[in-house]
Structure 1
Amino acid sequence: MRLSCSHVVNHLCCRDHPCIMWTGGCRRIPILVFHAEAILTKDSYIRLIGERYRLSYKIVKTDSRLVRSILTAHGFHEVHPNSSDYNLMWTGSHLKPYLLRTLSDIQKVNHFPRSYELTRKDRLYKNVSRMQYTHGFKTFHILPQTFILPTEYQEFCSSYSKDRGPWIVKPVASSRGRGVYLINNPNQISLEENILVSRYINNPLLIDDFKFDVRLYVLVTSYDPLVAYLYEEGLARFATVRYDQGTKNIKNQFMHLTNYSVNKKSGDYVSCDDPEVEDYGNKWSMSAMLRYLKQEGRDTTTLMANVEDLIIKTIISAELAIATACKTFLPHRGSCFELYGFDVLIDATLKPWLLEVNLSPSLACDAPLDLKIKASMISDMFTLVGFVCQDPGQRSSRVAHHSSESARRNPFQKPQVSNFQPICFLRGISHLTGTVH
């Protein structure tokens, strides 16, 4: 078959295109490379590949303007939520098993089956507790002492008699600080629903007398083997009232809770309109926070090593359950990926504590710093996940199969543009003794 001049031009154009990475045997598999700046430049040349291969996405049970903007800027078109012709399904909830079984080998969805083993607070507690029992309490001492009520009410009362608190109460399946409150007496707890009661960390590390926590972004691309990446940047979220251990302030959420969704309602909340200023107001970049601590003489290298250790141990606590679900429901190993939002509190001794793991962490960009961090993160994530340049309406699986096989041989193969750093590659945890690293 002879190629027309236009076909030759298109072929050469795609070969040299900045949005194409060639992988697989003899580098014949075209994988899309994403560029965060595309949402600002709206470059038609960047849209070329997505449009040429008719790449598409659908968004179900959620709304993410950032995800939509990045995909659109790379030539993806949005299809109806009921359509089966898509390269990416971005959803706010878990998929039913029958939907997972229908995924083709070029289709991606942003949740693993049974990810709630990490993101539901009661399941997270149970999984970490099991690892403490199996591998030693000190090895997995990553959560404050916790009880599930009403089931463990008597055990909680026994601990309360030895340490009157304060304690913090959280619903098992909520987010954004909803339903969270502090108590210093069991009589203040409502037992109408399942809740968690955890020992409140009353010696938090402070910056300028304000309590803060850190939101970290963790990408898992496989649970069998377990392959996880930590994004190099995150967010430090500050309370809006100076911290005071006095019990008279126990009900002041603006002092004790660091959630942005809580503190943005405070009259003392300070925002920053300059994306280049990362250490002003109630939301800093994580790197700005680390620079501040280093200037104060703190050992930030050891701190981040301990944070990585905490993340790895958290993920492997649920690895078996999620990997088993993947084997049961997924016809193709590379169909799912997951971006988790880890919320970590650092105490005055520089010990990191896991507060929770968020399913579908917020991608809202309420400030320029949000857009600066999250747009780059999502673009790098999509590049790492690896979208094969193939029209989803063409049900050929040969290209995607070879691409996924190549990824399995080298699960940490990643483009140089990515700011996700590999932190974990494990084939099961039977070898685990002491630290996970």
Structure 2
Amino acid sequence: VRLALSSVYSCLTRDHACIAWTGLSRKTPVLVFFAEAIVSKDGNIRSVGERYNLAFKIVRTESRLVRGILTSHGFHEIHPNSNDFNLMWTGSHLKPYLLRSLQDFQKVNHFPRSYELTRKDRLYKNIQRMQQAHGFKNFHIVPQTYVLPSEYQEFCSSFVKDKGPWIIKPVASSRGRGIYLVSNPNQIPVDENILVSRYINNPLLIDDFKFDVRLYVLVTSYDPVTIYLYEEGLARFATVKYDRGTKNIKNQFMHLTNYSVNKKSSDYVSCDDPEVEDYGNKWSMSAMLRYLKQEGKDTTLLMGQVEDLVIKAVLSAELQIATACQMFVPHRTNCFELYGFDVLIDSNLKPWLLEVNLSPSLACDAPLDLKIKASMISDMFSLVGEVLHSTFLLQRKKLIYRPSLLPDAEF
């Protein structure tokens, strides 16, 4: 086996653009991903993955972008029922028995118990626990929230002091589904599991429109905690100018910034030029920051607070997820996860965490989406560290040296 693997490594070119050498002795080759490969179809980029017979499977989700990036780097797709994969991309959590069966070279895109971060009720409870342990001010990153029906009386007591509006969210939904504003407790169902949060009625506006920011956060380990915040994101705008008056409380196109909601509006404006990042109802985050800086806002301070918010949110769920990893995940490098953080900035330039998304949308409905998301996914796969192990050598731990499988001409 050692002879077989050494013959593989000795034939790798150390200056190949798609190979980086890691580890203490810089002898472990990992694949480097390039976003432009999805368009260029460069055979030199594809050749490394093909030589190593790298395989992936996609389960319970549809992601053309992930599939396109992997295939353009020489991965081949296997049947969802096969376990001979290097990388598994799934839209939901894996069951414990599947996690326990992972080999050291295999990677999946979810940690066990990530719902501690992505379910709205669990996220709030975890942050509330950190507020109690470390001081309310140090973890004041979410609006005041109550989980109903269990905290209905506490909510009513708060409502007497602040009549709202308040925003209602199902505990486990996404894409703006089931979200609405109320100004009276009588408008709230008492027999459903929902969150009631104080509505931030002083949002920062651009050209009188409300917006929020989608941030992409990669966690590669919970022990130790290792977090990467992607340098670019998306600013998503409402399609109706903001008005604090209660008469418009039911206008979702004014109060909600979700793309999946506002794309249905007749006022939605899309941009077909990937080089124009500050037009229409979806901007790049960097374009938004440039605008704010021109308006005299301290964007350096703002992004420092955003980074602080991301770290504290992840730390609030660290214990539960790290414990689950110890129980179910056999190798430290098996799991990684991309989260979609939705952040609202108020008129005082304070960022508020609205929610954390499991499996954030990778749909590319506009050129700006593809520009940002393809680069982000490529960087993510490079950071995850896809070690160049040949699946036919290492699958199922059956390490049998058969020279016929390793003709020199193949490498």
Instruction: Answer yes or no: same fold by TM over 0.5.
Output: yes
Task: Indicate the residue corresponding to 2:314 in structure 1.
Answer: 315
Secondary structure of 1:30's match? strand
**What letter matches 1:202 in structure 2?**
N
Task: Indicate the residue corresponding to 1:65 in structure 2.
Answer: 64
Task: Indicate the residue corresponding to 1:364 in structure 2.
Answer: 363
The number of residues matched between the two structures is 393
CA distance, structure 2, for counterparts of residue 68 and residue 251 of structure 1: 39
CA distance, structure 1, for counterparts of residue 311 and residue 48 of structure 2: 36
Task: Indicate the residue corresponding to 1:295 in structure 2.
Answer: 294
Task: Indicate the residue corresponding to 1:272 in structure 2.
Answer: 271
Are 2:196 and 1:182 equivalent residues in the alignment? no
Are 2:307 and 1:335 equivalent residues in the alignment? no
CA distance, structure 2, for counterparts of residue 86 and residue 388 of structure 1: 13
Task: Indicate the residue corresponding to 2:118 in structure 1.
Answer: 119
**What letter matches 1:40 in structure 2?**
V
The Cα shift of 1:193 comes to: 1.8
Are 2:143 and 1:153 equivalent residues in the alignment? no
CA distance, structure 1, for counterparts of residue 8 and residue 137 of structure 2: 62
Secondary structure of 1:339's match? strand
Q: Does the aligned pair in 2 maintain the 1:14–1:49 contact within 8 Å?
A: no
Are 2:41 and 1:28 equivalent residues in the alignment? no
Alignment of 1:14-413 (within 5 A): 14-395=13-394
Cα deviation per residue 1:89-112 (whole Å; 9 max; x = unaligned)?
000000000000000000000000
Secondary structure of 2:264's match? coil
Inter-CA distance 45–202: structure 2 relative to 1 (3 Å threshold)? same
Q: Does the aligned pair in 1 maintain the 2:84–2:395 contact within 8 Å?
A: no
The Cα shift of 1:25 comes to: 4.7
CA distance, structure 2, for counterparts of residue 56 and residue 124 of structure 1: 34
Q: Does the aligned pair in 2 maintain the 1:106–1:397 contact within 8 Å?
A: no
**What letter matches 2:63 in structure 1?**
S
The Cα shift of 1:392 comes to: 2.2
The Cα shift of 1:15 comes to: 3.2
**What letter matches 1:206 in structure 2?**
L
CA distance, structure 1, for counterparts of residue 70 and residue 395 of structure 2: 23
CA distance, structure 2, for counterparts of residue 125 and residue 100 of structure 1: 27
Which stretch of structure 1 is more off in the superposition, 184-193 or 107-116? 184-193
CA distance, structure 2, for counterparts of residue 128 and residue 9 of structure 1: 48
Q: Does the aligned pair in 2 maintain the 1:168–1:180 contact within 8 Å?
A: yes
The Cα shift of 1:192 comes to: 3.3
Secondary structure of 2:137's match? coil
Task: Indicate the residue corresponding to 2:409 in structure 1.
Answer: none
Inter-CA distance 338–8: structure 2 relative to 1 (3 Å threshold)? closer
The Cα shift of 1:150 comes to: 0.6
Cα deviation per residue 1:51-102 (whole Å; 9 max; x = unaligned)?
0000000000000000000000000000011111000000000000000000
**What letter matches 1:118 in structure 2?**
L
Secondary structure of 1:196's match? strand
Q: Does the aligned pair in 2 maintain the 1:36–1:376 contact within 8 Å?
A: yes
The Cα shift of 1:12 comes to: 4.9
Q: Does the aligned pair in 2 maintain the 1:38–1:46 contact within 8 Å?
A: yes
Cα deviation per residue 1:90-143 (whole Å; 9 max; x = unaligned)?
000000000000000000000000000000000001000000000111110011
Secondary structure of 2:287's match? helix
CA distance, structure 1, for counterparts of residue 208 and residue 20 of structure 2: 48
CA distance, structure 2, for counterparts of residue 347 and residue 325 of structure 1: 36
Inter-CA distance 130–25: structure 2 relative to 1 (3 Å threshold)? closer
CA distance, structure 2, for counterparts of residue 231 and residue 9 of structure 1: 33
Q: Does the aligned pair in 2 maintain the 1:105–1:397 contact within 8 Å?
A: no
**What letter matches 1:204 in structure 2?**
P
CA RMSD of aligned residues (A): 1.7
Inter-CA distance 313–26: structure 2 relative to 1 (3 Å threshold)? closer
Secondary structure of 1:349's match? coil
Secondary structure of 1:15's match? coil
Secondary structure of 1:354's match? strand
Q: Does the aligned pair in 2 maintain the 1:234–1:287 contact within 8 Å?
A: yes
Q: Does the aligned pair in 2 maintain the 1:100–1:329 contact within 8 Å?
A: yes
The Cα shift of 1:22 comes to: 1.5
Inter-CA distance 10–25: structure 2 relative to 1 (3 Å threshold)? closer
Inter-CA distance 41–157: structure 2 relative to 1 (3 Å threshold)? same
Q: Does the aligned pair in 2 maintain the 1:29–1:388 contact within 8 Å?
A: yes
CA distance, structure 1, for counterparts of residue 26 and residue 211 of structure 2: 46
Secondary structure of 2:125's match? helix
CA distance, structure 2, for counterparts of residue 211 and residue 163 of structure 1: 22
Inter-CA distance 390–184: structure 2 relative to 1 (3 Å threshold)? same
TM-score for both structures, normalised by structure 1: 0.88
Q: Does the aligned pair in 2 maintain the 1:210–1:243 contact within 8 Å?
A: yes
**What letter matches 1:48 in structure 2?**
S
CA distance, structure 1, for counterparts of residue 274 and residue 15 of structure 2: 32
Q: Does the aligned pair in 2 maintain the 1:340–1:361 contact within 8 Å?
A: yes
**What letter matches 2:247 in structure 1?**
K
Q: Does the aligned pair in 2 maintain the 1:166–1:182 contact within 8 Å?
A: yes
Secondary structure of 1:318's match? helix
CA distance, structure 2, for counterparts of residue 208 and residue 396 of structure 1: 56
